[in-house]
Each structure stands twice: as C-alpha cells, then as structure tokens.
Chain A
Amino acid sequence: MFHKLVSNLDKTFKFSTVSAHCDIPCKIYDPSAAQIAVLTMIRMVDLLEELNQKSSLTANEQAQFSRLVAQKEEHGLKAKAEICVIWGDYIKQPQLDQFPELHTLVHSIMLTASKAKQEIDKTVTLDLLDKVNRFADIFWQSKGVATFTATCPYPPAQTVVYPKLGA
C-alpha cells in the first residue's frame, strides 16, 4: 500500500504537516439565545408600559425609559442575528426538504423582529416569540430531539419551546 510506504518514510524523514481544513467545526447551534432575546424584548415592553402609565416621568425614569428602549433594540438585533446564523450555517437542503416553511418563517421572523424594534407593542413581540418558538421546534426536530412547551420561570412568564433532553 502506497500510503503505508510513505507513512514508513515519514517515520524516518519526519515530513512537515499542513492543514487542509480551515473549517470552523464548532457546530454549536442553539435557538435558545434567540428565544431569550425575544423574552427580553417582551420584558422591556412590559416595563416600558409601566412607565407609560405615569402622567410624568422624573429624570431617572426618563433615563430608565431610554435604557429600556435601547435594550429592546439591542435584543431585537440579537434575536435576528441568532436566527440568521442557524438559518445560514446549519439549515441545509435536508432540513429545507423536511420543513419547507423554513425560508418563509425566517423571513417572517426578520420582519416581525424589525416591527417589534420599531414599536412598543406587546402583541408584536408575542407574535415574534411564537415564530421564534416555531423555529426552535423545527430546529430540535431536525436534530431528532423532542420538544415540550413550558412557561419560562421568570418574567415575562411566556410560553417557550424547550428541547426534551434525556438523561
């Protein structure tokens, strides 16, 4: 065998090695980061609504208002980025064949996330959570992992799709 022959020569002459792989083989994909980002947006909307109930805002409350809006914006971008990475790097033809709705769903998530960023509207953020949950459900199904839904044990206490990971 030629390879064996060269391998024996290698032991004597110590050929230099070179990599043929520049892949980034992390393969770590998890939609939970996107789900948590959307939950954060919902929480920000809740807190903004609390401020909105007041007739006037103190300087501190105005500062808090700005922070909440900024965080909602930041987490909207984060949710979009997390979904984009999974969609662009993990989703390939087999997943598209299995779940033909994926492209439309991801596009819809992008549009809804933008709308949720633009407005202080809980209905829109809940709609976004529904879509991101559906994306998470598809993601886990594509990996052969069953899912279940539960209310997240912290504010804003919304329904979230979780992977059912066995022991």
Chain B
Amino acid sequence: MSPKIPQDSYVLVMPWLKILALKRGNIIKVKHPQYGEIIKSVVAIDNDGCIWLQGLDPSSVTIAQMGPISASQVLGKVIKIIAPNSRP
C-alpha cells in the first residue's frame, strides 16, 4: 500500500465500522485466504456483494490476483493512518 501506508506505519482499525456500507476507496483490514490479515483499499463491490481489493503501489498484485472477498472476511475499517514522521 506504499506510498499511502509506508513501512512501520500504525493504523487505527475500527472493527464495528465494517457493518456500515463500504464504498470504493475505503481502506479495510481483511482476512485473505492467501495473504492472511492484510490491509487493502476497496476498488469495487459487485452485484453479488463481493468486495474487490487493490493495493496502491504499482507493483502490487492485480485486482484479479487478489480475487473477491466476502463481507464476512472484513475485519475492520481503517480510520487513521499514522505514518512515520507524520503529525497528528
């Protein structure tokens, strides 16, 4: 997710916020079957309710490689990113 979330950043994740409607651009924490617990941004939610994710770095794996995830795999919504050298 570099450059938005540089290495050694802290993120504030609110688990209960996942019950609210997600939308494109939201950054969420998910339990991915292949990549484990990971943070990605929502790129789309299809008609079946599947959530498609992507990273922000050009070298991230593609949306198709990430595959869709279901709402039950969402662990929370990122509401604050504290990057190294950042100010409150």
Contacts and interface: CB of A to CB of B under 8 A. Distances in A.
Contacts, number: 62
Contact of B1 (A3, A10, A21): A21
A120 B60 CA distance: 41
Interface in A1-40: 1-3, 6-7, 10, 15, 18-25
A15 B37 contact: no
Contacts of B58: 92
A19 B10 contact: no
Nearest to A17: B37
A1 B37 contact: no
Contacts of B5: 20
A159 to B, nearest CB: 34
Given A18-B11, A19-B35, A20-B38, A1 B85 contact: yes
A3 B85 contact: yes
A3 B84 contact: yes
Interface of chain B, main secondary structure: loop
Interface of chain A, main secondary structure: loop
B61 A18 contact: no
Nearest to A93: B58
A1 B82 CA distance: 10
A23 B58 CA distance: 9
5 shortest A-B CB distances, which residue pairs?
A: A20-B1, A2-B88, A22-B35, A20-B39, A20-B5
Interface of A: 1-3, 6-7, 10, 15, 18-25, 92
Interface of B: 1-2, 5, 9-11, 13, 29, 32, 34-40, 55, 57-61, 66, 82-88
Given A2-B86, A21-B57, A23-B59, 8 more contacts: A3-B9, A3-B84, A19-B36, A20-B2, A20-B11, A20-B40, A22-B61, A23-B60
